[in-house]
């Protein structure tokens, strides 16, 4: 039996706007509904950001609490992962606001980079500090890798105990400023991963589903959703992240792999059964 695929839905992010797609959720109620729809479609993990009602990115604890309460209130057992990346320009203190009770995983961005026209600052002491907060709160870190050197930073963190199993790696390809979403780049990064670590690929932009298919083939897991890509196919907006999850389920099954349940995902990520 092939290993199930953990599908992560990144339902909003910090960058996409309603001017680009009317389907981008903003309020906690909309973001929670998008997460529940993605779970119903087959997502085992939701990667959460929050927004102010006017769409500006938010790392307010109250927004994250409300989103998580609404998700659980809908009877949804999806794994909840909160972003500590927030948006370009936020301080580390602000970014840490997302790590509220009820979070199970938190992201750990492994380096500073150009991010579109902005600079996403993750100085090494900031990374160490966020890693320490994740450990204190017993959250499984998802290490976000956008470029090859960040795998060396991961090794540095592991050698010093700042990150220790269980942890997860997210290979985010296609951010302008990071590595492009190409087959060659994904294969190169996968070859350089520490042994036995579970990994996911997130393709940003139009390569999202092609990169997902490659990740499934290489034995990895998949992230899709409006944070990274607004389109189901050329010129066709996805009506929500759930449509992208449905597409990922189809391509996983075509390769002989079933979508993992949240319970299976918790086991595979070293979190034990729910
Ligand atoms: N919004 C990006 C600047 C994460 O969620 O940890 C960072 C980001 C990564 O989305
Ligand atoms: Zn994010």
Q: Could you tell me if the CB of 88 is within 6 A of ligand 1?
A: yes
Q: Could you tell me if the CB of 10 is within 6 A of ligand 1?
A: no
The pLDDT tens digits of the residues spanning 176-204 come to 999 999 999 999 999 999 999 999 999 99
Give the environment of ion ligand 2: residues with CB less than 5 A: 83
> Residue 218: is it exposed, middle or buried by C-beta count within 10 angstroms (0-12/13-18/19+)?
middle
The answer for residues whose C-beta is within 8 angstroms of residue 42's C-beta and 6 or more apart is 7, 245, 246, 248, 249, 259
Task: Considering every ligand atom shown, identify the ligand nearest to the alpha carbon of residue 15 and give its number.
Answer: 1
**For the residues 45-56, what does the mean pLDDT come to?**
98
Q: Is the pTM of this model over 0.95?
A: yes
What is the structure's pLDDT at 274? 37
Q: Could you tell me if the CB of 115 is within 6 A of ligand 1?
A: yes
User: What value does the mean pLDDT of the chain take?
Assistant: 97
């Amino acid at each position: 039996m092939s290993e199930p695929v953990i599908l992560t839905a990144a339902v909003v992010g910090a960058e996409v706007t309603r001017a680009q797609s009317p389907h981008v959720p903003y309020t906690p109620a909309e973001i929670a509904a998008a997460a529940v729809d993605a779970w119903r479609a087959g997502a085992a993990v939701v990667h959460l950001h929050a927004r102010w009602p006017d769409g500006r990115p938010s790392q307010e604890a109250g927004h994250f609490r409300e989103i998580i309460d609404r998700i659980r209130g809908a009877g949804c057992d999806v794994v909840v992962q909160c972003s500590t990346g927030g948006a370009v320009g936020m301080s580390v203190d602000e970014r840490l606001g997302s790590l509220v009770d009820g979070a199970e995983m938190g992201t750990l961005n492994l380096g500073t980079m150009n991010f579109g026209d902005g600079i996403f600052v993750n100085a090494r002491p900031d990374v160490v500090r966020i890693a320490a907060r994740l450990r204190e709160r017993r959250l499984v870190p998802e290490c976000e890798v956008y470029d090859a050197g960040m795998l060396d930073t991961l090794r540095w963190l592991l050698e010093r105990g700042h990150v220790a199993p269980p942890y997860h790696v997210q290979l985010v390809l296609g951010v302008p400023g990071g590595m492009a979403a190409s087959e060659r780049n994904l294969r190169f990064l996968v070859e350089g991963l520490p042994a036995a670590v579970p990994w996911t690929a997130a393709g940003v932009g139009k390569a999202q589903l092609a990169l997902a298919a490659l990740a499934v083939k290489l034995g990895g897991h998949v992230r899709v959703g409006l944070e990274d890509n607004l389109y189901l196919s050329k010129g066709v907006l996805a009506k929500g992240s759930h449509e992208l999850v449905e597409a990922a389920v189809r391509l996983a099954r075509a390769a002989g792999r079933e979508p993992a349940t949240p319970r299976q995902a918790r086991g595979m990520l070293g979190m034990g059964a729910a």
